[in-house]
Amino acid sequence: MLVAVRKPPIEFNITGTIPKSLISGLVREYGADNVRVESDDYVNAMEMEWFKNLECEDTPGKNMRFYRKLAGMTQPVLAERLGATKQFVSDMENGRKPISKTTAKKLAKIFDVSVARFI
């Protein structure tokens, strides 16, 4: 981690493991605009184990539920827009019924996303 403070006439850099209390003190003293914190501790989320596990659990039905909830729709409202029943929507979301290509196209149009999210 690197912390740089720039405020005339003071300029200094600190490297290594820096306590948050020290960074907070520098920000209080010199202002957030004058303190820059850089960290090389970033990790690509897609390489992390929890992401790989979630990706394995990703299904068309779960995507359907995600986009439905994101749009603030209930199952009955989505069912009406699809020309289906609430039970059919529930069955697709829970993986009991597959999502047909025709339904996937309708979902893609309703939610303005790629058809691939539902296939």
Residue 9 within any structural domain of the chain: yes
Q: Do 67 and 88 belong together in one domain? A: yes
Q: Which range marks the domain in which residue 60 is found?
A: 51-118
Alpha-carbon distance 45 to 56, whole Å? 15
Alpha-carbon distance 58 to 75, whole Å? 20
Residue 110 within any structural domain of the chain: yes
pTM, 2 dp = 0.56
Question: For residue range 4-58, what is the model confidence (pLDDT) as tens digits?
Answer: 677 666 777 887 888 888 888 888 888 888 888 877 666 777 777 877 777 777 8
Residue 43 within any structural domain of the chain: no
Question: What is the band of 2 on the pLDDT scale with cuts at 50, 70, 90?
Answer: low
Q: Do 10 and 64 belong together in one domain? A: no
Residue 44 within any structural domain of the chain: no
Alpha-carbon distance 86 to 97, whole Å? 13
Mean predicted confidence (pLDDT) in 61-82: 95
Q: Do 56 and 27 belong together in one domain? A: no
Q: Which of 62, 67, 63, 60 is nearest to 100 (CA)?
A: 60
Task: Say how many domains are in the chain.
Answer: 2
- CA separation, residue 30 to residues 9, 12, 19, 35, 37 (Å): 12, 12, 17, 7, 13
Q: Which of 88, 74, 94 is nearest to 103 (CA)?
A: 88
Residue 87: which CATH number? 1.10.260.40
Residue 22 within any structural domain of the chain: yes
Residue 45 within any structural domain of the chain: no
Q: Do 107 and 63 belong together in one domain? A: yes
Residue 31 within any structural domain of the chain: yes
Q: Do 59 and 97 belong together in one domain? A: yes
Residue 46 within any structural domain of the chain: no
Q: Say what the pLDDT of residue 48 is.
A: 79
